[in-house]
A and B are shown apart, each in its own frame.
Chain A
Amino acid sequence: MSSQNKMAEFEPRIVAFLCNWCSYRGADLAGTSRFHYPPNVRIIRVMCSGSVDPVYVLEALVHGADGVLIGGCHLGECHYQKGNYKAMRRVEMLKAILHQVGIDGDRVWLRWISASEGGIFRDTVAQMVTEIRKKGPNNMRKR
């Protein structure tokens, strides 16, 4: 019972890297549309999902983030042609590495969210918060 309470109290911290052209604007649209979602996500604007260095994700996890969301344009719609493909490959590799060092790779989400998909941004955050909450705190968090 007490452990369940503890789980309910756990508020995961999620860092989101959103690309300037699609996902960041999708998050803006969620705002102008007043779509409510859990406040656990903190957004960092980057130019392209393909510019997200795996080190950024690792650093976020090391510094205590419980989950990392990377948002890019839909495949084929990248402002820089193929940046999101690069992100896709890199995230797959990163997940494998995380697994090796004992971190659940599913703490890192890569999603395609266009500028018109405010609703999808809201749903993605809500879903991610639920999922990460189930996983519990990230054990890499600096103690």
Chain B
Amino acid sequence: MERRIGVYICHCGLNIAATVDVKEVTESAASLRGVQIARDYMFMCSDPGQDLILSDIKEYRLNRVVVASCSPLLHERTFRRVCREAGINPYLFEMANIREHCSWVHDDGATEKAKGLVRAAVMKVYYDEPLEPMEVPIVPNTLIVGGGIAGIQAALNIANAGYKVYLVEREPSIGGHMIQLDKTFPTLDCSACILTPKMSDVGSHPNIELLTYSEIDEVSGYIGNFKVKIKKKSKYVDESKCTGCGLCFQGCPVIMKNEFDLGLADRKAIYIPFPQAVPNIAVIDKREKRPCEAACVDACPIHTNVLGYIRLIAEGRYKEAYGLIRDTNPLPAVCGRVCYAPCEEACDRGQIDESIAIRNLKRFATDQVNIDELEVPQITKTGKRVAIIGSGPAGLAAANDLALEGHEVTIFEALPEPGGMLRYAIPEYRLPKEILLKEIDYIRRLGVEIRTGVQVGQDISLAEVKRDHQAVFIATGAHGGIRLGVEGEDIAGVIEGIRFLRAVNIGEKISVGKKVAVIGGGNTAIDCARTAKRIGGEDVRVVYRRSRDEMPVSSVEVAEMEKEGVKIDFLTMPKHFLSENEGLSGMECIRMKLGEPDDSGRPRPVPIKGSEFTMPVDTVIDALGQVPETEFVQELGLSLGKMGTIEIDHKTGATNIEEVFAGGDVVTGPASVIEAIGAGKRIACSISRYLRGEPLEVEEEELGEEKLSKRDIKDLQNRFPTQKRVEIGEEPIEERVGDFREVTLGYTPSEAVTEALRCLAGQMEGCIECHECERRCDAKAIDYEMKDEIVDVEVGSIILATGYQQIDPSVIPQYGYGRYDNVITGLEFERLSDAAGPTEGQIQLKNGQPPNSVAIIHCVGSRDKNFHEYCSRVCCMFALKFAYLIKEKTKAEVYQMYIDMRCFGEGHEEFYERLSTEEDVKFIRGKPSQVTDRALTEEEKGKLIVTVEDTLLGSLIRVPVDMVILCNALEPTADAENVARLFSISRRADGFFMERHVKLDPISTMNDGIFIAGCCEGPKDITDSVAQAKAAASEVLSLLTRGKVEIEPIVASVNDEFCSGCGLCEKMCPYGALSLAEPEGVMVVNQALCKGCGSCAVICPSEAISVSHFTRLQILGQVEALAS
């Protein structure tokens, strides 16, 4: 078909015509091959210009058109439309860019170049082929990235129109920077008040799917049909279960800086960033794996949150540490003294150097609170009555937990005072009675009634107790002393150990002779020996039938005893006691040797024949052990085991009689305090379930024993330098053995903090995985095992509203940010001024005092060649707002130090006027050179001095102030570059996202279907951000309303005749658009996947592939036109 080409040269007013001789270009064009008519005109894009083309097409029967004017990015669409109207295929049109690429950039030579460009365009159009645009449907969903005001507004506009929106926000809550602001200029609206309704609308909107704590991982596809992978970072909290109640973070021991308050306030490792957060769901800030296995918690029978309270001690939060301990342990002050501390044995630090002194730290925490002053929580009564028999650790622990559940608890105690063994067996030098009584008193304050001096089975029958209560817990312990069963045991002077300790503890007159022998090797024996030493025993010896290694007691206890002068006769056993004048005179002993292991696993002591000897003694104390005294339970028919222990179901604590439970020493025989507390707590739990009518048995999580490998230990040793534990202070030995004063002194705060900092979990950042939140969460929403998740969505369009960040002013050292406490940023001021902020709205200096004078420095990092050349656009106005707020809340003088005041929006100039006249704010035109604390005069002492040239006065002045606020520049977010890459959009030289055309196509980007709104496009105020958001929403809605979109038919196609099916193109294609067709053996293009990049065409050895509108012929035509 004959080429009939029309060429039109645009003057663009003088934009082109001033440097390009358009007449000459027109003349030269007229002579080109196929050109029927060449004209020039003032404005080709105007209506008359377009009409000119239309009429020429008719008159000259043109079938191809070239316009030489501006960039095709500006008007290609306009002229293609004109062609289409005239019946010419829009792809038989070309533009020569003789403005941007020619007249605007050249003087001499512009005409010659324009001729060349027109020649090339004519050549191109000569070879152009008609193409039909492809129409694709638009997926009716929209992705919005960024949950600040722009993202929120755009999401609401689109969702309100009835379309689905995915709103992705990186932080745990939407709200962006705006929610951090106190007031908004110039109307002084409360920022949160106007934003939070929109935030909650987003949170509850049926068309908005909110993905917080999420980031975009991958984007593919094209306008109308984007496929996006969203990475949902694990919150470790199940969003469907969390109610936002906040119980979790009350318990969390890890204190971190709250980003929302810019570090001016703290938050926990599990947190909700601010009260109005949307969604109102907690997040765990988990940053690293804990270096140890927290074996301490597993080893503790009641799983006390050891690492949690140690962390709190390290942070100096002693009262909170106590609270955390008290939450699981009803007798923390007792355990801080007498617990055998299985946690310390398990502590992983023990494998590096020495285990943490956990018990001492616990005692320290309890020493910091006055138990009498502790508040009692509100408890809702259930009306159920529970009886507990015995007020030892098991009984008290159960009473505590049951009372907190709201049950009415009565403890029956046979002895005159409560506490059981704690009161009657453990000597005062280890556990002062006063402390025990305080802890018991607190349990009383929870509503527990303790009836002392009432022996069940004697003063009241067990059946009666059972009748009057819905459940009974027997925790009578093991108070019956075991006797040796040898001749002479009834001689006066041979005392049973537990009776001896009880007598001393209640102040009964009891004396020992000078030579005292204590029989046994356990805790009771040691307590007896040290007590005997204190009441007059001079030569006190412990007689034990095995060796030191077999003693069932901690080596520390033994060492303490030995320090106090008690000797131990190992491998020795009394055979019988000798009397003289009805008194004890000595005991005959026999030496032992160790034989084969017995049932307990320890070597059996075997007597050595003929080794008998006589030991002269005045007093002997039998401390062989105890057994429960359980005669009183027989009336109900409870089944008993060996040694009189009560038999129970070990999972539930239930006896063979309904309603009756038992636990502690009465079940196990003599054990430790913490084991008794553990039993009490477990059974309290069973009883509660029983009273609620729930099944007693619950699946208990098996705690796997996770031991560190040798390699782990080596790594830890490399990571943590050896640091020995801090030893606890003690009373001097000579003095303490004379009375019953407490032997250990307890840590000082600095000792405690030093020791607490040794804990490996204390060295971590973020969550230490103590599981405290999990324990507290009623909704069972905590999930430590949660993993990051990838969510795939399909969307038709995308709005980026990723916002900005503010420059860190410490890069401008002369302003002293980071060095001077009272040099703060604008955003920090917003938090100070906010009534919900860290100071509850008090504008104050770091020392808590209100400032007497404040300097506000404008343009910090903006309009500055060293940092950002652009104007940040909002600072003048927020600086005026700051001045207003300071004047409103304090009596301070305010200085504005500015370069130019730019107050261009609605009501802005009026606000400026008001501040500068009515409010007496001082305006100094000049950019400060320095902020310093070096005073030159008396008046400047203790102040921050701002040196600034007042350019209106023409002189350098020094302004002494208390506070300096830096209006630091808005800049692109640190990851703006990555975001731009991810979405294939461009950035301007200043780093903000680039619009398709700065004047005529804002909001749009070069990548069709992707729009930008808010400060990711450049600094702007809320008003403009909202306007852009609405504009972006309208672009999206316009696409959605059309329902389909035309995309350029620039795709590859294969000429079957030349294709050999070699498959090279397939390897080159990034979209997988090429494949081998069988049985033809040629490649085929999936045009829905092809994006027209042309990689395939280049690689094809037989030139069988070409990309429409950019064919070989079309390009080479231009090459020929331009090169020759």
Q: Which of A's residues lie within 8 Å of B, judged by CB?
A: 11, 13, 15, 21-22, 25, 27-28, 30-32, 34-40, 42-48, 50-56, 59-65, 76-77, 79-83, 86, 90, 114-117, 119, 122, 142
By a CB distance below 8 angstroms, the chain B residues around A53 are 1097-1098, 1112, 1115
B994 touches A116 (CB 8 A): yes
Out of A42, A64, A122, name the residue touching B120 (CB < 8 Å).
A42
Out of A15, A48, A52, A76, name the residue touching B1122 (CB < 8 Å).
A15
Q: A34-B105, A77-B981 in contact; A28/B986 too (CB < 8 A)?
A: no
By a CB distance below 8 angstroms, the chain A residues around B1120 are 59, 63
- The interface bits of chain B over 68-85 (1 if a CB of A lies within 8 angstroms of the residue's CB, else 0) are 000111000000000000
B73 touches A32 (CB 8 A): no
B1094 touches A15 (CB 8 A): no
By a CB distance below 8 angstroms, the chain A residues around B1118 are 44
For residue B11, CB closer than 8 A to chain A, the reply is no
For residue B1107, CB closer than 8 A to chain A, the reply is yes
Q: Which of B1089-1124 contact A (CB under 8 A)?
A: 1091-1095, 1097-1098, 1107, 1110, 1112, 1115-1116, 1118-1120, 1122-1124
17 more contacts with CB within 8 A, not counting A31-B100, A36-B105, A61-B1123, are: A15-B1123, A25-B986, A28-B73, A39-B112, A42-B120, A44-B120, A44-B1115, A51-B1097, A52-B1098, A53-B1112, A56-B1119, A59-B1119, A63-B1120, A80-B1095, A86-B1068, A114-B986, A116-B989
Q: Which residue of B lies closest to A54 (CB)?
A: B1098
A122 to B107, CA, bound (A): 14
By a CB distance below 8 angstroms, the chain A residues around B1093 are 47-48, 50-51, 79-80, 83
A-B contact pairs, 19 of them (CB 8 A): A15-B1123, A28-B97, A31-B101, A35-B105, A38-B106, A42-B116, A46-B1110, A47-B1094, A50-B1093, A51-B1097, A53-B1112, A56-B1115, A61-B1123, A64-B1124, A65-B1122, A79-B1007, A79-B1093, A80-B1095, A82-B1070
A43 touches B101 (CB 8 A): yes
A80 to B986, CA, bound (A): 14
- The interface bits of chain B over 916-945 (1 if a CB of A lies within 8 angstroms of the residue's CB, else 0) are 000000000000000000000000000000
A42 touches B117 (CB 8 A): yes
A80 to B1092, CA, bound (A): 9
A39 touches B102 (CB 8 A): yes
A44 touches B994 (CB 8 A): no
Q: A64-B1123, A114-B987, A115-B986 in contact; A43/B97 too (CB < 8 A)?
A: yes
For residue B1050, CB closer than 8 A to chain A, the reply is yes
Q: A39-B113, A90-B1098 in contact; A51/B107 too (CB < 8 A)?
A: no
By a CB distance below 8 angstroms, the chain A residues around B1116 are 55-56, 59
A39 touches B106 (CB 8 A): yes
Q: Which residue of B lies closest to A121 (CB)?
A: B105
Q: A51-B1098, A52-B1098 in contact; A42/B986 too (CB < 8 A)?
A: no
A35 to B102, CA, bound (A): 11
For residue B32, CB closer than 8 A to chain A, the reply is no
A34 to B18, CA, bound (A): 14
Give, as a whole number of angstroms, the nearest-CB distance from B17 to chain A. Answer: 16
By a CB distance below 8 angstroms, the chain A residues around B986 are 21-22, 25, 114-116
For residue B980, CB closer than 8 A to chain A, the reply is yes
By a CB distance below 8 angstroms, the chain A residues around B112 are 39
Q: Which residue of A lies closest to B1091 (CB)?
A: A80
A22 to B987, CA, bound (A): 10
A48 to B1090, CA, bound (A): 14
For residue B480, CB closer than 8 A to chain A, the reply is no
For residue B1006, CB closer than 8 A to chain A, the reply is yes
By a CB distance below 8 angstroms, the chain A residues around B1007 are 79
By a CB distance below 8 angstroms, the chain A residues around B1107 are 47, 51
B1119 touches A15 (CB 8 A): yes
For residue B711, CB closer than 8 A to chain A, the reply is no
Q: A44-B1118, A56-B1116, A80-B1070 in contact; A30/B105 too (CB < 8 A)?
A: yes
By a CB distance below 8 angstroms, the chain A residues around B1006 are 21, 25, 115
A44 to B756, CA, bound (A): 71
Give, as a whole number of angstroms, the nearest-CB distance from B782 to chain A. Answer: 40
Interface centre among A25, A28, A114, A119 (most CB of B within 10 A): A28
For residue B509, CB closer than 8 A to chain A, the reply is no
B1110 touches A115 (CB 8 A): no
A56 to B1122, CA, bound (A): 12
Q: A34-B104, A80-B1091 in contact; A46/B71 too (CB < 8 A)?
A: no
A47 to B116, CA, bound (A): 21
Out of A21, A60, A90, A119, name the residue touching B1119 (CB < 8 Å).
A60
A22 to B1006, CA, bound (A): 10
By a CB distance below 8 angstroms, the chain B residues around A45 are 72
By a CB distance below 8 angstroms, the chain B residues around A142 are 1124
Out of A32, A55, A56, name the residue touching B100 (CB < 8 Å).
A32
A32 to B988, CA, bound (A): 14
**Contact-residue bracket for chain B:** 35 or more
Give, as a whole number of angstroms, the nearest-CB distance from B759 to chain A. Answer: 44
Out of A37, A61, A115, name the residue touching B105 (CB < 8 Å).
A37
For residue B108, CB closer than 8 A to chain A, the reply is yes
Q: Which residue of B lies closest to A114 (CB)?
A: B986
By a CB distance below 8 angstroms, the chain A residues around B109 are 11, 38-40
Interface centre among B988, B1107, B1119 (most CB of A within 10 A): B1119
- The interface bits of chain B over 479-515 (1 if a CB of A lies within 8 angstroms of the residue's CB, else 0) are 0000000000000000000000000000000000000
A79 to B980, CA, bound (A): 11
Q: Which residue of B lies closest to A13 (CB)?
A: B1123
A76 to B984, CA, bound (A): 10
For residue B362, CB closer than 8 A to chain A, the reply is no
A28 touches B71 (CB 8 A): yes
For residue B99, CB closer than 8 A to chain A, the reply is yes
By a CB distance below 8 angstroms, the chain A residues around B988 are 116
Q: A39-B113, A63-B1119 in contact; A115/B981 too (CB < 8 A)?
A: no
Interface centre among B101, B117, B984, B994 (most CB of A within 10 A): B101
A40 to B116, CA, bound (A): 11
By a CB distance below 8 angstroms, the chain A residues around B987 are 114, 116
Q: Which residue of B lies closest to A53 (CB)?
A: B1098
Out of B113, B981, B989, B1050, name the residue touching A47 (CB < 8 Å).
B1050
A47 touches B1092 (CB 8 A): yes
Q: A39-B110, A59-B1116, A64-B1124 in contact; A31/B71 too (CB < 8 A)?
A: yes
A90 to B1068, CA, bound (A): 13
B1124 touches A63 (CB 8 A): yes
Q: Which residue of A lies closest to B1050 (CB)?
A: A47
Give, as a whole number of angstroms, the nearest-CB distance from B10 to chain A. Answer: 14
By a CB distance below 8 angstroms, the chain B residues around A15 are 1119, 1122-1123
Q: Which residue of A lies closest to B989 (CB)?
A: A116
B1123 touches A50 (CB 8 A): no
Q: A22-B986, A31-B105 in contact; A65/B1123 too (CB < 8 A)?
A: yes
Give, as a whole number of angstroms, the nearest-CB distance from A126 to chain B. Answer: 11
- The interface bits of chain B over 978-998 (1 if a CB of A lies within 8 angstroms of the residue's CB, else 0) are 001100101111000010000
Q: Which residue of A lies closest to B107 (CB)?
A: A36
By a CB distance below 8 angstroms, the chain B residues around A13 are 1122-1123
By a CB distance below 8 angstroms, the chain B residues around A122 are 105
B1098 touches A31 (CB 8 A): no
Give, as a whole number of angstroms, the nearest-CB distance from B1002 to chain A. Answer: 15
Give, as a whole number of angstroms, the nearest-CB distance from A93 to chain B. Answer: 12
A36 to B73, CA, bound (A): 21
Give, as a whole number of angstroms, the nearest-CB distance from B993 to chain A. Answer: 10
A15 to B988, CA, bound (A): 26
B1123 touches A63 (CB 8 A): yes
A63 to B1124, CA, bound (A): 5
Give, as a whole number of angstroms, the nearest-CB distance from B97 to chain A. Answer: 7
A119 to B1116, CA, bound (A): 29
A77 touches B980 (CB 8 A): yes
Interface centre among B106, B117, B1116, B1123 (most CB of A within 10 A): B1123
A46 touches B101 (CB 8 A): no
A44 to B984, CA, bound (A): 22
Q: Which of B102-131 contact A (CB under 8 A)?
A: 102, 104-110, 112-113, 116-117, 120
